[in-house]
């Protein structure tokens, strides 16, 4: 096992009817900015629940944070925070609203060019405290210190990580997810699934506990995912998927293991250039990446194939190949396409994507062995 430090300060409140508890989590005299997205919370009753709970509080609002939150929009919220002397941020929505709110929290007190937070990993000295009410299980942002922000003007999608932007609390009421369109439900299942594989399908460092924790999440997603798609108001299944997504990226299963994240880095570029949903990009890149990296990942792929998909026929290579096929078939079975061709995307940007990642001084994968040439090869495997 590799050395690790684990600290997760997020107070997690889970279950039916829990949104009302927000009133006790933020002191009354605190000036709050409530942030949200394009309006889903006004259609599914979440907005009313939050407003009712915070009746006695001093709340200003900032709506309109886009999926793949836009830098320029977030800068407007930063100005509002300064003008209104906001002391606490309450994000109500999916990963984009939460990530956007983390950026706002960090940017308000950041002197200098705020793009440096994302472009140069400029250190964050101070952040406004924040809390979340999650409506879309997918990213794990409700229980981690990461944030991903897009800047469409530059066709960029970048991230930053800071312990100062862990939410103080996150409220997860599975009933808020009943209104999700199937596309977003499926995206969320794929995202959580791939968060696990990024931390599990690498190389063996003797971590049987973490492996089985990862496998538990994968198996639960495979069982419960199709249930929520077939029955969007199945509370039990929604609750299980929601808890899986949080567990997939609250850093617990990443303790002491080798981590990959190449699928995410390449996927982010597909969103930056083509606007695909985050989950859609992962469903395309993961099977291609696993195929390309089948040799260095062989031992874990065989374990995954045997334990998750019951692949036992043939030699190790055949088991690994079968496991990758099963993974791809699972994504397709929940209506997430797995090829660029499905979105009529060709190879025009492959060199630009690879060049850009390399220009940031990054080599990808758990062995830092995926460079420019390999990124292009992986993207070729994504085509059809």
| Alpha-carbon distance values, 123 to 158, 194, 297, 347 (Å) | 15, 28, 34, 36
Nearest to 34 by CA among 125, 117, 111, 100: 100
Asked whether position 129 contacts ligand NZQ by CB under 6 A, the answer is no
Question: Smallest gap, in angstroms, from Cβ of residue 156 to ligand NZQ?
Answer: 12
Stretch of residues binding ligand NZQ (CB under 6 A), selected from 20-28, 95-103, 112-120, 221-229: 95-103
Q: Give the range of 50-58, 130-138, 315-323, 347-355 binding ligand NZQ by CB under 6 A.
A: 130-138
Residue 64 backbone zone (phi > 0: left; psi -120 to 50: alpha; other: beta): left
Residue 99 binding Zn ion, by CB under 5 A = no
Supply the minimum distance, in Å, between the C-beta of residue 277 and ligand NZQ.
7
Per CB under 6 A, the list member of 114, 158, 238, 278 interacting with ligand NZQ is 278
With beta carbons less than 8 A apart as the criterion, state whether 224 and 241 touch.
Answer: yes
Q: How far is the CB of 147 from Zn ion (least distance, A)?
A: 12
Least distance to ligand NZQ from the beta carbon of 362, Å?
16
Stretch that binds ligand NZQ, among 187-195, 211-219, 322-330, 345-353 (CB under 6 A): 187-195
For Zn ion, the closer of residues 37 and 279 by Cβ is 279
Q: Give every CB contact of residue 208 below 8 A, 6+ residues apart in sequence.
A: none
Q: Which does 148 bind (CB under 5 to 8 A by kind): ligand NZQ, Zn ion, none?
A: ligand NZQ
List the one residue from 101, 184, 186, 207 that touches ligand NZQ (CB under 6 A). 184
Other CB atoms closer than 10 Å to residue 322's CB: what's the count? 20
How many CA atoms are closer than 13 Å to the CA of 293, on its beta-carbon side? 31
Whether residue 44 contacts residue 93, with contact meaning beta carbons closer than 8 Å, is answered with no
Joined together, the tokens standing for residue 172 give 């997860």
Helix (H, G, I), strand (E, B) or coil at 66: coil
Q: Does 191 bind Zn ion (CB under 5 A)?
A: yes
The residue with its CB nearest to Zn ion is: 191
SS3 percent helix, strand, coil of the chain, rounded to 5, is: 55, 10, 35
Is 374 one of the binding residues for Zn ion (CB under 5 A)? no
Tokens matching residue 12: 């997690």
Residues 21-80 that bind ligand NZQ (CB under 6 A): 37-41, 44, 67-68
Distance (Å, whole) CA 334 – CA 280: 11
Binding site for ligand NZQ (CB under 6 A): 37-41, 44, 67-68, 93-97, 99, 135-136, 138-141, 144, 146-148, 176-177, 179-180, 184, 187-188, 191, 249, 264, 278
């Amino acid at each position: 096992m590799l050395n690790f430090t684990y600290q997760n300060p997020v107070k997690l409140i889970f279950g039916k009817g829990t949104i009302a508890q927000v009133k006790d989590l933020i002191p009354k005299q605190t000036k709050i900015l409530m942030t949200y997205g394009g309006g889903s919370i006004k259609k599914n009753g979440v907005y009313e629940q939050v407003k009712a709970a915070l009746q006695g509080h001093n709340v200003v609002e900032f709506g309109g944070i886009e999926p793949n939150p836009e830098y320029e929009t977030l800068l407007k919220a930063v100005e509002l925070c300064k003008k209104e002397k906001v002391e606490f941020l309450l994000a109500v929505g999916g990963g984009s609203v939460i990530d956007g709110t983390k950026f706002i929290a960090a940017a308000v007190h950041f002197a200098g060019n705020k793009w440096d937070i994302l472009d140069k990993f400029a250190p964050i000295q101070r952040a406004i405290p924040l809390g979340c009410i999650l409506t879309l299980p997918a990213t794990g942002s409700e229980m981690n210190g990461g944030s991903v922000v897009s800047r469409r003007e530059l066709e960029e999608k970048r991230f930053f990580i800071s312990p100062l932007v862990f939410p103080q609390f996150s409220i997860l009421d599975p009933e808020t997810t009943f209104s999700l369109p199937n596309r977003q439900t499926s995206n969320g299942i794929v995202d959580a699934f791939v968060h696990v594989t990024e931390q599990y399908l690498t190389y063996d460092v003797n971590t049987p506990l973490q492996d089985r924790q990862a496998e538990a999440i994968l198996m639960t997603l495979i069982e419960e995912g199709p249930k929520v798609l077939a029955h969007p108001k199945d509370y039990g299944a929604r609750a299980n998927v929601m808890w899986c997504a949080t567990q997939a990226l609250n850093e617990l299963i990443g303790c002491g293991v080798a981590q990959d994240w190449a699928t995410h880095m390449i996927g982010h570029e597909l969103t930056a250039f083509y606007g695909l949903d985050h989950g859609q990009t992962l469903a395309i890149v993961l099977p291609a990446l696993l195929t390309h990296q089948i040799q260095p990942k062989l031992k874990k792929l065989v374990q995954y194939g045997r334990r998750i998909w019951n692949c036992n026929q043939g030699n190790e290579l055949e088991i690994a190949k079968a496991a990758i096929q099963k993974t791809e078939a699972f994504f397709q079975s929940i209506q997430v396409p797995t090829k660029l061709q499905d979105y009529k995307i060709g190879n025009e940007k492959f060199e630009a994507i690879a060049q850009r990642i390399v220009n940031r001084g990054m080599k990808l994968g758990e062995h830092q062995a995926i460079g420019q040439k390999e990124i292009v090869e992986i993207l070729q495997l994504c085509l059809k």
